[in-house]
Amino acid sequence: MTNSSQPLPSFFSRISIAIGAFFRALSDADYAARLTRIDDAPQPAAAPVAPAPAPAPAPAPVTLRVATPDAALQLLSLFQREARLIDFTQENLSAYSDADIGAAARVVHEGCAKVLKEHFTIQPVRGEAEGSRIELPEGFDAAAVRLTGNVVGKAPFKGTLSHRGWRSAEVRLPKLAEAHDASILAPAEVEL
How do residues 77-96 score in pLDDT, each as one tens digit? 999 999 999 999 999 999 99
Positive or negative CA dihedral for 102, 107, 110, 114?
A: negative
Contact 158, 179 (CB under 8 A): no
Note the Cα 98 to chain centre separation in Å.
24
User: How high is the pLDDT of residue 103?
Assistant: 94
C-alpha closest to that of 114 among 150, 139, 78: 78
Can you tell me the distance from the alpha carbon of 58 to that of 143, in angstroms, rounded to the nearest whole number?
Answer: 15
Domain boundaries, the chain: 9-43+64-123+170-186, 126-164
User: How high is the pLDDT of residue 11?
Assistant: 66
Residues 6+ apart with CB under 8 A from 24: 31
State which residues of the chain have pLDDT below 70: 1-6, 11-14, 16, 23, 25-27, 39-54, 56
Contact 162, 117 (CB under 8 A): no
Residues 6+ apart with CB under 8 A from 13: none
User: How high is the pLDDT of residue 116?
Assistant: 96
